[in-house]
Amino acid sequence: MKSIPIQELSKQTGITVRTLRYYDQIGLLIPAAKTPGKHRIYSEEELKKLQQIQFLKKLGFSLQEISDMISNPEWNWSSSLMNQLDFVKNEQNKLNQMESALRTVLHSIAVEGETSWDVIQKLIHLSGRDPSLKHAFRQQMFERREEELLDLLPNMNSTDPDSLEWIALLGQLKKRMENGPGSPEVQRIIRRMDEKRREHFEGEDPFVDKLWEIRKSPAQSEQMGLYPIEEELLQFMELAFNIYAAGLEEKLDEEGETS
């Protein structure tokens, strides 16, 4: 039988000497023998058992669960692995939800310039809504064909380039409100917003108008699960777009007169 001193076992497995001593104390991995000087000596059998412990730890089992599993020849492995898989899936869902919430708050900073507790409170309220209520409201307000268009809307917890550009445009617009709705800087932002609107919703004016009316209503906006944009910014955006649309119409009239 090959004898492996504790330091050598530590070197082979990457497990610290301190951890190996702890495993001995709790009865998880008892050395094959000890020298007269009380130094722990392990055999190939303990090495194999330690490898099993390391593997089960990677699967997320606790030390107590591992102790029960490797000491019981009749242990139900299928049941344990299925339970652990369910646990991991639940943890993944929690992490996904956490990631989504963090991304939403980060994107709210891009829009607001800073995130106040008022905004966070709105996000808390919004996240606590029953998803089925949002789904029911969308079904009530939109035709089946229009519901497919909703999937093209920007999302505050998304990382797709289209959503990120919308978030950036909203943030830029808010920063320039003091310049006035007709200022060149604001009109450039509105022009890009209109370009993006036409990219996805060309010929869908009734849908866009309906969506805008919902967006302007805090109650309906909440029911639909939309990010809570402050009323002042929405009014400014509408005024700036009206100026932009009037400029387009005037330009078309001038082109018509010269043609």
Backbone angles phi, psi at 153, to 5 degrees: -70, 150
Q: What is the pLDDT of residue 85?
A: 93
Using the predicted structure, report yes or no on whether residue 255 has a pLDDT greater than 70: no
Residue-level pLDDT at 115: 60
37-77 pLDDT tens trace: 889 999 999 999 999 999 999 999 999 999 999 999 899 99
If you count them, how many residues does the chain have?
259
Under 8 Å CB-to-CB from 186, ≥6 apart: which residues? 173, 176, 177, 179, 180, 240
Q: Are 227 and 134 in contact (CB under 8 A)?
A: no
Q: What pLDDT score does 253 carry?
A: 63
Structure tokens at 187: 């009109």
> For position 204, what pLDDT does the model report?
93
The string of DSSP codes covering the chain is ---EEHHHHHHHH---HHHHHHHHHTTSS--SEE-TT--EEE-HHHHHHHHHHHHHHHTT--HHHHHHHHH-TT--HHHHHHHHHHHHHHHHHHHHHHHHHHHHHHHHHHHHSS--HHHHHHHHHHHTS-HHHHHHHHHHHS-HHHHHHHTTS--TT--SHHHHHHHHHHHHHHHTGGG-TTSHHHHHHHHHHHHHHHHHHTT-HHHHHHHHHHHH-HHHHHHTT-----HHHHHHHHHHHHHHHHHHHHHHHHHHHH-
pLDDT, tens digit (0-9, with 9 covering 90-100), for 100-120: 877 877 788 778 776 667 667
Does the predicted TM-score (pTM) go above 0.75? no
In this predicted structure, what is the pLDDT of residue 24? 95
Q: Which two tokens stand for residue 160?
A: 């797709």
User: What is the tens place of the pLDDT at every residue in 154-213?
Assistant: 888 888 899 999 999 999 999 999 999 999 999 999 999 999 999 999 999 999 999 999
Round to whole Å and give the CA distance between 92 and 112. 30
Chain centroid to Cα 82, Å, comes to 26
Q: Which residues contact 24 (CB under 8 A, 6 or more apart)?
A: 30, 31, 40
Chain-centroid distance, C-alpha 177: 30
Q: Distances in Å between the alpha carbon of 160 and those of 34, 153, 253?
A: 60, 11, 38
Bridge partners of 4, per DSSP, are 42
Per-residue pLDDT at 231 exceeds 70: yes
